Structure 1
Amino acid sequence: MKVNQAEFVISAVRPEQYPDDALPEIALAGRSNVGKSSLINTLITRKNLARTSSTPGKTQHLNYYRIENGLYFVDVPGYGYAKVSKTQRAAWGAMIERYMLERDVLKLVLLVVDLRHPPSKDDVSMYDWLQHYDRPICVVATKADKIPRSRWQKHIKVVKETLGFRKDHQLVMFSSETGMGKDELWSIIQSHIHE
């Protein structure tokens, strides 16, 4: 999909702040620093609409990006090693949980993992949780350009085995450097939007 229009709309922390125009939403979940912002920027062919940061845990709200006035990408706070208090982490958890369970227009969750490393305990917990509540999932394995092509299948196997990956779920290898996986991911996103 060619994106001509994309804009940052709001950083929301409560349901009453979420947009109420009923456009379909695609959420991006993953640990801090896994490349969610780069993924968004690659999908919409922008350099820095979604701000990337070298400080893990910078996203502390649900960041809404409206794409072509037809859908939203929702960047969810990263889990993992953000330097925040347990109280803050618990508050994020409650906010994310409520959003993922109660948001009717949420059509797909992109679970973003780093292809170079086995998924973390947090990745596995998130995958299990999404499955348990029957949320539609697509796993996106980023940073594929950092691994020689000959080792891709080995790394994909590790990702799938660690997650306990279900055959009916989709997995896309992605690189924000080369654009690999961009078209495939857009077609998956569009198929969920139009279901």
Structure 2
Amino acid sequence: MLIKTSEFIISAVKREQYPTDNRVEIAFVGRSNVGKSSIINALTNRKKLAKVSQTPGKTRLINFFLINNDFHLVDLPGYGYAKVSKKEQASWGKTIETYLHGREELKRVVLLVDSRHKPTADDITMFEWIKHYGYDVIVVATKKDKLSNNDLRKSEKLIRDTLKLTSEDKLYFFSSLNKKGRDELIDNLFGDLASEE
């Protein structure tokens, strides 16, 4: 699948602000500093589609992007940023949960984890949440370029064990920096859900 066009549609907090055109949605979620904006920009080949911030935890809204005039890529707020007040963390959690709860257009959630570290308690909770709501989930480990092949194997085992992934659960590694395997990742994430051209 080729991503030919991508455009920002709307930032939303409340359910009534979400798009109502019934297009399929694929949501991206992860910790504040996992490189979510970078991977969205790498996949869409747009430098500034999703705003990359020097301060983790900047995305407090749900951002909807229209891809190929066909489906929405949804950027959910980053979680787990320690320098934010508990109250603010709770409000992001509520924003994410409101979106996940009964969103019929949502067909898949891509959970981003940092390939260099063991998934956190927040990552585990998020994975369980997605499963609880019955959505298809794919785990993508970011910052692949920082690991040797040997470390990659260790990281894969650690991520699979920590999140209790089954053999059916999909896990991919990706670097937004060198974009190796970008086309393959696009096919794996979106190919089966995109409309045939």
Deviation at 1:82, TM superposition (A): 5.0
Q: Answer yes or no: is 1:77 the counterpart of 2:94.
A: no
CA distance in 1, matches of 2:168, 2:148: 27
CA distance in 2, matches of 1:66, 1:139: 22
**Residue identity (%):** 48
In structure 1, the partner of 2:47 is 47
CA distance in 1, matches of 2:121, 2:49: 30
In structure 2, the partner of 1:36 is 36
> TM-score normalised to the size of structure 1?
0.94
Runs of 4+ in 1 over 6 A off after TM superposition: none
Alignment check: 8 A CA contact 1:30 1:123 kept: yes
The count of aligned residue pairs is 194
In structure 2, the partner of 1:109 is 109
> TM-score normalised to the size of structure 2?
0.93
Alignment check: 8 A CA contact 1:173 1:180 kept: no
* Secondary structure class of the residue paired with 2:192: helix
In structure 1, the partner of 2:191 is 190
Alignment check: 8 A CA contact 1:172 1:181 kept: no
For the aligned residue pairs, the C-alpha RMSD in angstroms reads 1.4
CA deviations 1:34-53 (Å, max 9, x no partner) are 01101101111111111111
* Secondary structure class of the residue paired with 2:101: helix
CA distance in 2, matches of 1:78, 1:145: 22
Structure 1 unmatched ranges of 5 or more: none
CA distance in 2, matches of 1:184, 1:119: 24
Letter in 1 for 2:53: S
Alignment check: 8 A CA contact 2:100 2:133 kept: no
Deviation at 1:71, TM superposition (A): 1.0
Deviation at 1:89, TM superposition (A): 1.9
In structure 2, the partner of 1:161 is 161
Structure 2 unmatched ranges of 5 or more: none
